[in-house]
């Protein structure tokens, strides 16, 4: 059976015009520029880049403006845009040990080579609203101090040197890419990391929190959290050598987790890993906790049935664009589907004896 599918065009056009007007808000208030969003809403821009899975601060800022600050809508816009770009190739893996550091802390060792660098953090702020920001003020300036060129090696590498850390596989294989082929299980560790790094921050935060509360507990310490910029290098086929094509800001979290050993492995520390585009500390820590919980099988740990240990559950529900696409589609016209439901209910009711219907009323 067909129902009318025409007739909405004018209403849709008018709705979009109103949307555009609402987006702009009160015309007496100056319009936001892309540069203002990029510079002053930088953490929102970072989230849109990370979950949109495209590092381009200007585009992310534009998406935030167009989406009226709805970050998932902005991520949707970025994801749609990236499908229009031809893929030039893959970079070499970024070397986070060479990161130019803006923040670097460890919860496991106090004294580390390179030191504990707090960087521009919300930690230790009192979380009191600062009403001075409601007034136009002078641009604040950061303190400076002569920098010593002391290198800051990965802190877990220190444990590695003593053989207390699990060794990392390093087979030089080309990692699977879920933007090129559908995400299929079983998912190896590289594929899980790709899904998690573009996954929804809120979903990963809740899952990570659930592991802390006992649902798939992994006893995580933040071995190191570092934020800074890394060079991206790529092989250029027409030149026959690699060049740096740019620099990106990254947040990396490595957790140290207890591991009592298995039949084949001695007791040692294991690691959970988080690497996220931009300054995205909460997401990077969440990612490393969830990542570690998902490793129960390869480490021979007990499956307690916790959500964070369920690879299928985690990976198939972490993508907020897939989730919102499926969720929001149910508000679109389902007239025909519902018509058949209505028919069915009427038919069932006809089959029921009249006195039972009366009793129910």
Give the contacts of 200 (CB within 8 A, at least 6 positions apart).
Answer: 51, 72, 318, 319, 320, 323
Work out which of 44, 45, 53, 67 binds other proteins, going by CB under 8 A: 53
Work out which of 32, 73, 108, 189 binds other proteins, going by CB under 8 A: 189
Do you find a cis peptide bond into 186, omega within 30 degrees of 0? yes
Work out which of 1, 12, 135, 142 binds other proteins, going by CB under 8 A: 142
Q: Any contact of residue 198 with other proteins (CB under 8 A)?
A: yes
**Region of 15-23, 28-36, 52-60, 345-353 interacting with other proteins (CB under 8 A):** 52-60
C-alpha torsion sign, points 218, 222, 224, 226: positive
Residue with tokens 């596989």: 169
Residue with tokens 């136009």: 136
What are 282's strand-pairing partners?
Answer: none
Looking at the Cβ atoms of 280 and 309, the one nearer to other proteins is 280
Q: Per the structure block, which two tokens stand in for 102?
A: 């803006």
Residues 260-279 that bind other proteins (CB under 8 A): 271, 273, 275, 277
Looking at the Cβ atoms of 153 and 333, the one nearer to other proteins is 153
Residues 222-241 that bind other proteins (CB under 8 A): 231-232, 234, 236, 238-239, 241
Q: How far apart are CA 184 and CA 318, in angstroms?
A: 14
Q: How far is the CB of 208 from other proteins (least distance, A)?
A: 17
Q: What angle do CA 227, 230, 236 make, to 5 degrees?
A: 160
Pairing of strands 268-277, 100-105: unpaired
Work out which of 54, 204, 222, 315 binds other proteins, going by CB under 8 A: 54
Q: How far is the CB of 172 from other proteins (least distance, A)?
A: 7
Work out which of 118, 342, 344, 345 binds other proteins, going by CB under 8 A: 118
Work out which of 244, 297, 298, 343 binds other proteins, going by CB under 8 A: 244
Q: How far is the CB of 115 from other proteins (least distance, A)?
A: 5
Pairing of strands 268-277, 241-259: antiparallel
Give the contacts of 317 (CB within 8 A, at least 6 positions apart).
Answer: 203, 323
- Quick note: the x/- pattern for other proteins over 153-172, rule CB under 8 A, is -x-xx----------xxxxx
Q: How far apart are CA 212 and CA 274, in angstroms?
A: 16
Judged by CB under 8 A, the number of residues near other proteins is: 83
Residues 76-95 that bind other proteins (CB under 8 A): 82, 85-95
Work out which of 9, 22, 26, 111 binds other proteins, going by CB under 8 A: 111
Closest CA to 204 of 265, 95, 294, 304: 294
Work out which of 10, 126, 132, 144 binds other proteins, going by CB under 8 A: 144
Q: Per the structure block, which two tokens stand in for 159?
A: 């444990």
Q: How far is the CB of 40 from other proteins (least distance, A)?
A: 18
Q: How far is the CB of 350 from other proteins (least distance, A)?
A: 56
**Are 283 and 250 in contact, with CB atoms under 8 Å apart?**
no
Q: How far is the CB of 271 from other proteins (least distance, A)?
A: 5
């Amino acid at each position: 059976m067909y129902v009318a599918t025409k007739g909405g065009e004018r209403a849709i056009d008018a709705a979009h015009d109103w949307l555009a007007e609402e987006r702009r808000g009160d015309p007496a208030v100056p319009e936001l520029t892309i540069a203002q969003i990029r510079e002053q809403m930088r953490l929102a821009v970072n989230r849109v880049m990370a979950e949109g899975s495209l590092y381009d601060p200007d585009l992310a800022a534009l998406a935030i403006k167009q989406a009226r600050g709805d970050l998932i809508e902005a991520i949707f816009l970025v994801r749609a845009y990236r499908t229009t770009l031809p893929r030039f190739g893959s970079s070499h893996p970024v070397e986070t040990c060479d990161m130019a550091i803006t923040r670097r802390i460890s919860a496991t060792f106090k004294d580390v080579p390179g030191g504990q660098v707090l960087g521009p953090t919300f930690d230790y702020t009192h979380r009191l609203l600062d009403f001075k920001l409601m007034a136009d003020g002078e641009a604040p300036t950061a303190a400076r101090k002569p920098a010593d060129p002391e290198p800051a090696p990965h802190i877990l590498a220190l444990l590695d040197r003593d053989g207390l850390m699990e060794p990392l596989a390093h087979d030089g294989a080309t990692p699977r890419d879920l933007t090129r082929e559908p995400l299929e299980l079983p998912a190896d560790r590289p594929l899980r990391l790709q899904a998690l790094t573009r996954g929804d921050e809120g979903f990963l935060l809740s899952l990570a929190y659930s592991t802390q509360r006992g649902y798939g507990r992994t006893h995580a310490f933040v071995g190191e959290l570092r934020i800074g910029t890394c060079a991206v290098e790529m092989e250029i086929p027409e030149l026959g050598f690699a060049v740096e094509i740019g620099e990106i800001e990254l947040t990396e979290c490595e957790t140290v987790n207890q591991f009592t050993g298995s039949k084949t492995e001695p007791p040692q520390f294991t690691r959970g890993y988080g690497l996220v585009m931009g300054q995205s500390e909460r997401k990077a820590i969440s990612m490393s906790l969830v990542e570690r919980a998902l490793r129960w099988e390869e480490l021979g740990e007990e499956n307690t049935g916790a959500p964070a240990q369920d690879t299928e559950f985690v990976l198939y529900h972490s993508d907020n664009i897939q989730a919102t696409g499926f969720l929001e589609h149910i508000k679109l016209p389902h007239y025909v589907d519902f018509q058949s439901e209505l028919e069915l209910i009427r038919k069932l009711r006809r089959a029921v004896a009249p006195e039972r219907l009366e009793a129910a009323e």
